[in-house]
A = this chain, B = another copy of it.
Amino acid sequence: MRVTATFAATRAEYRGRVALVPTMGFFHEGHLALMGAAREQAGTVVVSLFVNPMQFNDPADLAAYPRDRERDAALAEASGADVLFAPSPEEMYPLAPAVRVSLPDLSAEMEGAHRPGHLDGVALVVAKLYAGLRPDLAFFGRKDAQQLAVVTRLAADLSFPVEVVGYPTVRERDGLALSSRNVFLAPEDRAGVGSLSRGLFVAADAAEAGERSGAALEGLVAAELEAAGLPSPEYVALADASSATRIPCLDRPAFLAVAARVGTVRLIDNVFLDPEGPADRGVRLERDSLLYAKGVGC
């Protein structure tokens, strides 16, 4: 595996079809699953690693975001990456960008409403990765469902010849969606956060049994949260999977999403629902995540 610092050096490594896995590093099994899926479909797998300041609406969150380049390089190599593109802020933003890239209709609700500017920052940096790396495929986790809608529509609207692939969420043993931020959960909060996925799974069961009411599905999630002592999520929302706008009725492919602050950590999760077929609840690890291993890759 090569580690590159510039767009041009990265492109110079290409052979065959190119699959991109954009990340902010501190890898867990969710990232590695994306790399594995990319490996199966491409001649060259590029993993980008950049903690993008422009998508952090909270400076404290940016400062605290976990980073471990050596660990990440070892994990990416073991997962079949050909190139780890780890640009400096100067390569990514040689000037403060004058361009604005946004998808306001897809960014009005949920994450867009609760993290002002976040999805604009995602759209900008992903546009740069599409433009500068010219991938044929790009893999994103479904855990960030609204982000997935944004980067998919971004590619279509700007005519980037890239196929955007959304990949199922990987979960810890109790169902908690993997996130690099999980390492910051206080021990006393850890048990309660299982309620997010539990509530989503209850709702997915109901949807598969025929429930079509958005209010009812959202209510099932909220009830599970309340029972676990998390009565005030930022939102619970059924949304159109492509437009990322709330819908009152499960009459098309959709996601049911939740966001909640637990202690100092903000968690998001979702299930994808389809009135014509099974829900996507993601996949569950049978062991502790490598997030909690000591000295991985060092």
Residues of chain A touching chain B, judged by Cβ–Cβ distance below 8 Å, are 7-8, 11, 92, 94-95, 97-106, 123, 127-132, 134, 153-154, 156-161, 243
Contact = CB atoms under 8 A, between A and B. Distances in A.
- Say what secondary structure dominates the interface of chain A: helix
Given A130-B131, A131-B130, A131-B131, A97 B157 contact: yes
Given A8-B161, A128-B157, 19 more contacts: A7-B161, A94-B156, A95-B156, A97-B157, A98-B103, A98-B104, A98-B105, A98-B153, A98-B243, A99-B123, A99-B157, A100-B102, A100-B103, A100-B104, A101-B101, A101-B158, A127-B158, A131-B160, A134-B161
Contact of A131 (B92, B102, B104, B159): B159
Contacts of A97: 157
Contacts of A99: 101-103, 123, 153-154, 157-158
A153 B98 CA distance: 7
Name the residue in A128, A132, A153, A157 with the highest tally of chain B Cβ atoms < 10 Å from its Cβ: A157
A130 B161 CA distance: 11
Name the residue in A101, A102, A105, A129 with the highest tally of chain B Cβ atoms < 10 Å from its Cβ: A101
A153 B99 CA distance: 8
Number of this chain's copies in the complex: 2
Contacts of A8: 161
A99 to B, nearest CB: 4
**For the complex of A and B, 3 pairs with smallest distance between CB atoms:** A132-B159, A99-B157, A128-B159
9 contacts: A92-B159, A95-B156, A98-B103, A98-B243, A101-B158, A131-B158, A132-B160, A132-B161, A134-B161
A110 to B, nearest CB: 16
A105 B92 CA distance: 20
A87 to B, nearest CB: 9
Contacts of A104: 98, 100
A100 B103 CA distance: 6
